[in-house]
Structure 1
Amino acid sequence: MRKQRAARWALAVPMMLLAIATIYPMLYALNISMKTRKDYVLDRLGLAQTFNVQNFIDAWTDADMGRYFVNTIIATVFSVTLILILSSMCGYALSHLTFRGSKLAFLIILAMMMIPFQVIMVPTIKVLSDMGLINTFPGLIAAYVAQFLPFTVYFMTSYYSGIPKELTEAARVDGSGLFGTWWRIMVPVGKPALISMGILNALFVWNDILIALLIMQSPSNRTVMVGVSALRGQYPDNVPTYIAGVLLAVAPIIIVYLIFQRQISAGVTAGATKG
């Protein structure tokens, strides 16, 4: 019994410390965002004396955060939708269909996962520029799809590999074509993995700064994270307003994660154990 308690405490204490280290910065930032500029200068570490939301109003209106949120939602929705459709189709083809070059295609996808965006940044921007897609939502969406698609294809291929081929073969015998089999069999069965990948890719797109900064060069087309980074220059001596803008930007991500954390864990675990 003592050994079991000691083992539980040995696990609980590091987890508690990790939780405190994660939560404290957010609470500290929230405390700063509630202060006026004067209060922050006089006492940076002290607790806010009033519940002041003016900093959030200033960050939302003066910094045009509303427009940035709309831009980010557009980019996120279309990018994630395309990624899920393409990755589900590719995962079905690579896991259940036999064709020449399938193994080579899968190896190429694995290789693409190893290449960071910084390596292909210059040619990507050059190609988009030649196509006239710089500072456009189609260009930004295409860049996101190209960047995040390989991992999602790999994940969906791994997940679909655990589905018996007899299931898809039976659907083909019943007269269902390739598209019909994918839509009626693979999409419903792969729903947990698709939900998990949809949430993770939405987080990736929402948090991105580098790709959006390179492609969306017009201030009116900025995404929310690029807009937040620009806030630091707009309010160099008003840290509370800047921190309020940061909290506004990350709040949707925190809410989404808290709501769908079980789906994320279940989907990732299922994908890791399939195949």
Structure 2
Amino acid sequence: MEKIWIAGAKGHVGSALCDLLDCRHYEILPTDLEEVDITDRESVSNYVRVSRPDVLINCVGFGDITSCEAQPDKAYQVNTVGARNLAVQAQAIGAKLIHLSTDDVFSHHARQPYNEFEIPTPSTIYGKSKLAGERFVQNLCTRHVIVRSSWVYGIGKDFVNTILEAANNPSVTSMEVAENEFASPTSATELAKVIEQLIDNDCLGIYHAVCGGFCSRFEFAQAILKAIHAKDKLTLKPISDSETINYSVLDNMMLRLENFTQPISWQQALKDYIRTTGGNN
């Protein structure tokens, strides 16, 4: 039975993986930062030496773009050094490392979806630190998979739940939402299903994994309110942070080329998520 270490098991994707992966086929080893701090080289080394996982899944990340700009050292410590530590230890025991990354490794200036063969050119500290983490994974661990996704949501703090909380708070009557940001909202559950396929098929390399279709941040917020029948509870005000379009739609080219099951549309994934959670988190 394969051992799978899920680092960051309490986050969106980590918790979805814990729910999805069949314990009859895998021995799941879930940890969070309190148990194993991936930024601490010795902590990672000790855990790997004792548990000896066959697969390591890195779901840990410092992903708030504004916070990353304010705290660049922390961004690189978590997103880059943490990835390096996992890559080194995975290589040492011949394990596979599945590393979660982001659409923010791209510049957001394109007008068509980015596939896995595009050259990343990040413009934010978050994107730069995640790309640096990717580079460590590629250079230090032979058996690696890098999975890039976008606008991931699930149980916990994220854009979807920010909208849900605002809609359920009588003291909040309006919210400003960007109308010039475009990407593919992706539920943690749909992303976890892709990761399961990548484990089962012993894949290697870079894969993009996002739900089908794309929308603006404003359109996404509208869809969330519609899904919980709360369009009258919260007034959304469209804003543009700049005159340029912020476009970071990903193309799941590798999943398509290898005939893997694609994630469902972002609209259906959102409906499924709202139905499962009842619109409350």
TM over 0.5, shorter chain:
no
The structure richer in strand per residue is 2
Name the TM-score, length of structure 1 as normaliser.
Answer: 0.23
Rg larger for: 1
Name the TM-score, length of structure 2 as normaliser.
Answer: 0.23
Q: Which has the higher contact order (CA 8 A, sep 6+)?
A: 1
